[in-house]
Structure 1
Amino acid sequence: MIKLISASERHEAQVGDWLQSHYLFSFADYYDPANVQFGPLRVFNHDVVAGHNGFPSHPHAEMEVVTIVLDGELTHKDSIGNEVTLKAGDVQRITAGTGVSHAEANDTDNTAELLQLWFLPNKRGLAPSYENMSLDFLDVHDKLVPLVTGQKVLDNVPFLNSNSTVYFGQVTQGQEIDFKTFKIRKTLVYVLSGSLLVNNVEVDRHDQVRLEQKDVVSLHGAANATFILVDVPATEANY
């Protein structure tokens, strides 16, 4: 099965004059019972935060929260003592576990662009924890780069308490990447720029495609393209 969801079908949310968000799944005031999650992937938001603004401190529990900075920078503070400035090319993972509060602020004059993904964990009752890495993924060519993973075959990326992996990808026009997977898993591809043919389905900027029961996901550059690929189990314990 392959399902194309166009950019116009994302839910757009404007918060004052400081935050522009697009939700790929039900979130906040947007609820669609047919679009709540994809495997353990519960939230996928594409945010642009104005300068000298940000998300005030707020609580989470029993969730893996992943932040991917595409442009600009954010300062992270949390209730377990972390204070870190994240820049473009950085990836952050918060295990909310039994409970944590955090805030993200753009203290610069420029906008910050980020993706935030939430995964339901494969273990409950975990102690809150935090990890971030500078992965410099934005300049790769014709490859997939893992950004965060719970699959232990991948090293040197933040660890996720979910049997899932998030990749950043780039493919040049006319080139192709084959992502090998299994029919017991699901794949979501979200195009950040350019245009892809994903298993021969055209996927343009800010479109997404969701695939199930595939052995291979073929990513062909219809134009130079950057994208996020999320590989998740079809089912996972404890959610």
Structure 2
Amino acid sequence: MVMSPVSMNLLPMRTAGVDLAAENKGTALAVIEWTDREARLEQLTLEVGDVEITEAAAGVAKIGIDCAFGWPDEFVAFVADHSDLSRAHTPDGRMEWRRTLAYRETDRQVRETLGRWPLSVSTDRIGLTAMRCAGLLGRLTASGLLVDRSGRDGVVVEVYPGATLRLWEWEIRGYRSDPEVRGRLVAQMQRDTPWLDLGAHTELMVTSTDAFDAVVAALAARAAALGRYEPPPPEHQARAEREGWIVLPSCRLDELLSADS
């Protein structure tokens, strides 16, 4: 589906990607500059803080952050009820019920599209990173930027690099733990996108999973800037504004350069 893209008057444009961790260590930032003929990875930085991310967000069309933007509505309600025993209810405890607490609507969409669940923001360790992300989204809002957790408006979108690569049908098994796999993926990226200049950053993309994922996040942000992803359906829009919505590109990597629909 093609949504209304960011105005093409913004070309050349910049997009950014953040592989967010609970601390600065493990957090990477990538910035890509786009024209109608080429793209260039102009920045790739490790151990990035919230101030640097906020400054980068102010200078780009879209910034993709690899982290859940919120928690499942059912989980939020469950925790609120559990804090007051007079309101608490007795759950049935079945897996079906527990999954409503563990997964957001966007996670269910990823499951339907790719056949696998993302990590749960309410039951996996990524919850610590989501706590940092909540503060970061507040900082971005305080800086004057429009933050829409559904991704429809504003500069910030939630991305999922692993899902993005699977949608592009790349063989990524082991890429997060094996530099040799990342090396093959970087070489594939260079072959598939001769217009994308990775500059002197290729070695860092191979040695650092965080750096590699930040670049993929910036590529997914470009898809969002062009409106080439599936937005929340109308019946889930309000929920996506609370829980977040993962941008899954609806175009191939080699189609990201062209601004034409």
Larger relative contact order (Cα-Cα within 8 Å, sequence gap ≥ 6): 2
**Larger radius of gyration between Structure 1 and Structure 2:** 2
Higher strand proportion: 1
Would the TM-score normalized by the shorter structure come out above 0.5? no
TM-score w.r.t. the length of structure 2 is 0.27
